[in-house]
Amino acid sequence: MSIALITGSCGLVGSESAIFFSKKGFDIVGIDNNARKFFFGKDGDISWVKRKLNKSLKKYSHYSTDIRNYESLKKIFLKYKKNIKIIIHCAAQPSHDWAKNKAFVDFEINARGTLNLLELTKIYTPEAPFIFMSTNKVYGDNPNRLPLIEKKTRWEIRKGHKFTRGIDESMSVDNCTHSFFGVSKSYADLIVQEYGRNVGLKTSCFRAGCITGPNHSGAKLHGFLSYLVKASLKSKKYNLIGYKGKQVRDNIHSSDLVSCFWQFFQKPSCGEVYNTGGGRFSNCSILEALQIVEDIAKIKIKKNIIKTNRIGDHIWYVSDMKKFKKKYPNWQQKYSTKKILSELIEEFSS
């Protein structure tokens, strides 16, 4: 029996991982206590995804366990032990705004929860690759110090800069403002690296930008493209917070992301970090995303621009995946931003 243990199994990346690895012949052990409903209310409720997984996957076992509870997690690891062949850690408190008002809860989930899982992996299944869903927010607002130029619908980096193709892993995580969410995820990112480089676990941090897909329970405080499409189709209006709505988002489909996980599983190493996103193939400003939705759905969206910027928000962020692509040349990206938005519009219109 080969088990893929997936935290946040009913979230966007967790559910995509569950479906993908089930098709590869794995039994799935999913851990998800529907904390998104607590964070974001009914918009964040992932109960529908849980029902979907239980119905569609033959060998899916669900645990409504809180990752902050070491002893509860320990029971799961004790039950399956070395049958666990991969750990995919997606569970998190994912919102900047929510974290600011609940800093202790945010840190306990994102930091301590990750530490709990690493320690249990070390004890019970040390040969299993450990994949951590990190974030580009570990770089804080350092990307905002790049030489950026304001254009008609977006901000763009100056031509000829070393990050013209996108930001790679050489960007500093220091001397910047992160947001409380960025700090808790930074701790998790660093401790995942440490268990790889110091302890010898096969760990990896995938630092993603905006991840999206049809299984996303997008809410106002989290889930950029998913919430943008839902709000646009439902109310025909959208709030653009700061930077005139020209801030650029790096968009990767959850399917493309999980195929990265599969590549790492087949050829793992210790303490790796990968910037992971749409790159130059898939990015857009908020204004550009709204325009694409208007064109595809044939609607007019009222845009309300809020001048105050969100703390730690990136003005321009595009990922450079050259490090990952060099090691895993067989990986292929399939979803552009337009294809992602088309899929979301079709999903929410049905």
Identify the pLDDT of residue 213. Answer: 83
Domain ranges of the chain: 3-349
For the chain, what is the HEC assignment? Answer: CCEEEEECCCCHHHHHHHHHHHHCCCEEEEECCCHHHHHHHHHHCCHHHHHHHHHHCCCEEEECCCCCCHHHHHHHHHHHHHHEEEEEECCCCCCHHHHHHCHHHHHHHHHHHHHHHHHHHHHHCCCCCEEEEEEHHHHCCHHHHCCEEECCCCEEECCCCCCCCCECCCCCCCCCCCCHHHHHHHHHHHHHHHHHHCCCCCEEEEEECEEECCCCCCECCECHHHHHHHHHHHHCEEEEECHHHCCEEEEEEHHHHHHHHHHHHHCCCCCEEEEECCHHHCEEEHHHHHHHHHHHHCCCCEEEEECCCCCCCCCECCECCHHHHHHCCCCCCCCCHHHHHHHHHHHHHC
Average pLDDT of 208-224? 71
Work out the pLDDT band at 95, boundaries 50, 70, 90. confident
pLDDT at position 221: 47
Mean pLDDT, range 281-293, rounded to an integer: 96
Choice among 31-35, 98-102, 147-151, 160-164 with the minimum mean pLDDT: 98-102
Mean pLDDT, rounded, for 306-324: 92
In this predicted structure, the answer to whether residue 170 has a pLDDT above a threshold of 70 is yes
Instruction: Look at the domain 3-349 and name its fold.
Output: Rossmann fold (3.40.50)
Does 350 score more than 80 pLDDT? no
In three-state secondary structure terms, 237 is strand
* Angle, CA 254 vertex, CA 216 and CA 9 arms, to 5°: 60
Q: What is the pLDDT of residue 223?
A: 57
| pLDDT, tens digit (0-9, with 9 covering 90-100), for 39-91 | 888 878 889 999 999 999 999 999 999 999 999 999 999 999 999 999 999 99
Mean pLDDT of 307-314: 85
Which pLDDT score, from 0 to 100, does residue 40 have?
Answer: 83
The pLDDT of residue 36 is above 90: no
Q: Which residues of 248-269 are buried (b: 16+ CB within 10 A; e: fewer)?
A: bbbbbbbbbbbbbbbbbbeebe
Distance CA 54, CA 201 (A): 31
What single-letter DSSP state applies at residue 291? H
With cut-offs at 50, 70 and 90, classify the pLDDT of residue 311.
Answer: confident
- Please tell me the predicted confidence (pLDDT) of residue 60: 98
Q: What is the pLDDT of residue 196?
A: 98
Higher per-residue confidence, 279 vs 35: 279
Q: What is the pLDDT of residue 217?
A: 58
- Residue-level pLDDT at 136: 95
Amino acid 71: pLDDT: 98
pLDDT digits (tens, 9 = 90+) for 320-349: 999 999 999 999 999 999 999 999 999 888
Q: Has residue 181 got a pLDDT over 70? A: yes
What pLDDT does 7 receive? 98
pTM listed for this prediction? 0.93
